[in-house]
Amino acid sequence: MEVLAFLIPIALFLGGLGLAAFFWALKHRQYEDPEGDSQRILNDDWDDRPKP
């Protein structure tokens, strides 16, 4: 039971860190255009193969 004194604050800290990362991603518009991204991956406009 003594280990809970360490695990609960660590869990709360990691949860807060994840929440802060989520809000950072929202602020920097990481989730702005999911529909465009799903269509863009299917597009063959460019080729990343080396040129001969």
**Using H for helix, E for strand and C for coil, what is the string for the chain?**
CCCHHHHHHHHHHHHHHHHHHHHHHHHCCCCCCHHHHHHHCCCCCCCCCCCC
Q: Global pTM?
A: 0.61
Q: What is the pLDDT of residues 5-40, one digit of tens each?
A: 999 999 999 999 999 999 999 999 888 877 777 777
Residues 6+ apart with CB under 8 A from 38: none
25 contacts 31 by C-beta, under 8 angstroms: yes
Tokens 């255009």 identify what position? Answer: 33
